[in-house]
Amino acid sequence: MKTESLLAREPLFWSRVGFAEDPTRRDLQGKILFKERDWTDYIAEHRSFFRAGVKCHTTILHNGWVGVDQYDFSGTDRTLEAICEISPDIRYMPRIKLNAPAAWCERYPEELYLSEHAPRAPEEIRRVFREQLPFFSTPGLEWDYPDAGCAVGLQSFCSEKWLEDASCALRMLLAHIDQTPYADQIIGYQIGFGMCAENAYWGGWVSPRRFGDFGLAAAEKFAEYCAGLYGSRQAAAEAFHIEEFNDAVQLIPGSARRCHTPENLEDYFRYGNDQCAVYSRFLSETTADAVCRFAEVIKTETGKPAGAFYGYLFSSYPGQIGHLAVQRLLDCAALDFLSSPKGYYRSGPGEPGGAQGMSLSVTRKKLWLDELDNGTYLGRRVHHKDYYPADLPETRTVLWREVAKNLAWNNQNFWWMDLGGGWFRDEAVMRLFPPLLQFIRKVRSMPRKSLCEILLIVDEDSLYWQNEDANFMGGHHKAIVNEMASELLLCGAPVEQYRLRDLLEMDLFSYKLIVFANAFAVDEKTRAYLKTNLPPDTLCLWHYAAGIRNHGYSLDHVRDLTGLSVEPYEMGFDASNGYGIDVKLPPIRILPEDGIAIQKRRADGTICTARRGNHILCVSPDFRSEDFFALASEAGCRMYAPPHCTVYGDSRFMAFFPQQDQNAVLFLPEAGEYEELLTGKHCSGFATWPVRLKAKDALVFMRV
């Protein structure tokens, strides 16, 4: 079977084998230091998954880059041997981290990431780096460091020197692997750098957060970028309202400008603040270009598939971490797949789960591999996280939900992950996998047709123009779009998620309800397309100041897109009355006009949800699953379950994941003979299944 086919069809398993210190550290004997010295239990897990039928495996593989022009592949060989000698039939996809080693960072302080308050003299940068070095971990600096958040990080993603040397190290590694007995077992490579090797800028996931790379190389490269846009550095400085411009670093917006409590609507949407949007675009394009450059090395040297983490639109601060240039990577010919961890928010049993990236958008051009680090009930004993399953039945529910989600979303692939260590060291847990694998392979062998009539649209370009600290997008915590997406998935029918720009290339006539989560920056081309190509009976739900930016900023743009007029008003910040999220959104209200239907008012009487024709505008997002159920039903969508139940499925299977106990009737696509896979019960001749839904349970139906 071709390696591309394996990565598209065969699920993988990841463990902490090969998980080394980052940057590289050695013990007193000069050996590469790993997070754990003894891998016996992890290798036992790999053997268990292999016996269960999981033939493809993945771990971190040490890159061998230990210093300036220095390489040591002993740690690489240890990992290769540990995994590949489980069986000659095992297949392996290594994750290769390309962060610079400590000696390189000390040699080239001008090539490092610097926070905005870091020193700028090379010797001072070296001094701070050496002081910080013992505190480095995969996200950057450990929490107990006095200045947590990377005062001085590892390499800047803008550093041409790093790109050259890391590419050289990658070539050396690939050549070394090719000389080992395990070369033919390698099915592809995942490349990474930055925080957690997820191609994310330093400082975005630690506390206090850092915003922007103020390093010497970064400042110079951004100045060149701005000169290309505005004609000169001085012209860029004038456009950014910088007085007495004399240093490239001044062009980089500080945290006070990028992330602050917005004063008004104009401030929230960065009207007159092109500096922040331009800088976010620069960070994202720079990151994407580095990913593509390394992918080209892999493709040139091996011809094997290459992929990377990227596109965390549902994460915190996606602009700050450099994850908004999704299209740039979709257009990169050398890149074969993208990945992200599964969505963390509301990912426990009974909740809908989800993804951090727009995976369906990716599958239009590339493969998507979902990282399923959900944990099991064994992990809950150690980490005490509420979203971990509490027992074996809840563990089963989460495993089936994540598999059903990925299969329903255009046959996406994934890997199960033991991030914490010991999540699968239990015979009862491992007995859950053979039925899952049988289900996966049977479903993948069948022709697929989407039954989805509900569409959620998220726009990465709009995120360039939003204040980054208003809780509109989030990661592990509550945020408007994350809550909205979760509630929509619980509406009782399948939901698909795409980017706004995808709509220009999609057939929209199968969708009866389209929910636009954050369509704020909508250009004239997209507006014209939506006005002429949306099916006439499709119901559109817009949020907040939809369309407010169109090569500029105007409240008239909102009316042009949605048919409803809005205005700001003074009432403090608008805590979303349905979601209960502490947001920093300047409040707006819908104006009463002829021809609109008022659907909801705030306590002060102002209109917050109204409708004109098939367009609904909700300026204080608050739709819950029952509201989405009612809206989808009105739009003519086929509903398969009551509210508070997630449905993942297509023409091949239907899977139901109830959030709460309730008596219900489940609907299947058509009459026929079905088996419910988790109980073995059969239903013949009907397309309905009366049932007592149990919270945090799972029901999966397939035609017999």
Cα–Cα distance measured from residue 308 to residue 302, given in angstroms and rounded to the nearest whole number? 16
Same domain, 624 and 560: yes
Question: Does residue 123 lie within any of the structural domains?
Answer: no
- The residue among 291, 311, 341 that closes a domain is 341
- The residue among 295, 315, 341 that closes a domain is 341
Q: How far is CA 694 from CA 268, 351, 380, 393, 665, in A?
A: 43, 13, 22, 12, 13
Same domain, 569 and 688: no
Same domain, 656 and 622: no
Same domain, 597 and 691: no
Question: Does residue 518 lie within any of the structural domains?
Answer: yes
Same domain, 50 and 16: yes
Give tens-digit pLDDT for 593-626: 999 999 999 988 999 999 999 999 999 999 999 9
CATH code of residue 680? 2.60.40.1180
Q: How confident is the model at residue 1 (pLDDT cuts 50, 70, 90)?
A: very low
Question: Does residue 416 lie within any of the structural domains?
Answer: no
Question: Does residue 133 lie within any of the structural domains?
Answer: no
Cα–Cα distance measured from residue 559 to residue 553, given in angstroms and rounded to the nearest whole number? 13
Same domain, 662 and 577: no
Question: Does residue 610 lie within any of the structural domains?
Answer: yes
Angle at 374 between CA 370 and CA 330, to 5 degrees: 15
State how far Cα 317 lies from the chain centre. 11
Per 3-state DSSP, what percentage of the chain is helix, strand, and coil (rounded to 5)? Answer: 35, 20, 45
Same domain, 627 and 680: no
Same domain, 626 and 676: no
Contact 499, 527 (CB under 8 A): no
Same domain, 500 and 465: yes
Q: How far is CA 650 from CA 219, 246, 370, 399, in A?
A: 49, 59, 19, 18
Give tens-digit pLDDT for 344-374: 889 999 999 999 999 999 999 999 999 999 9
Give tens-digit pLDDT for 368-409: 999 999 999 998 776 667 788 999 999 999 999 999 999 999
CATH code of residue 540? 3.40.50.880
State the residue range of the domain holding 690. 646-703
Name the DSSP class of 619. Answer: S
For the chain, the domain total comes to: 3
Instruction: Provide the 10 A C-beta neighbour count for residue 509.
Output: 11
Give tens-digit pLDDT for 308-343: 999 999 987 898 899 999 999 999 999 999 999 998
Which positions ≥6 away from 256 have C-beta within 8 Å? none
- The residue among 578, 610, 634 that closes a domain is 634
pTM attached to this predicted model: 0.96
**Nearest in space to 526 (alpha carbons), one of 492, 551, 553:** 551
Structure tokens at 260: 């602050």
Same domain, 658 and 583: no
Same domain, 295 and 174: yes
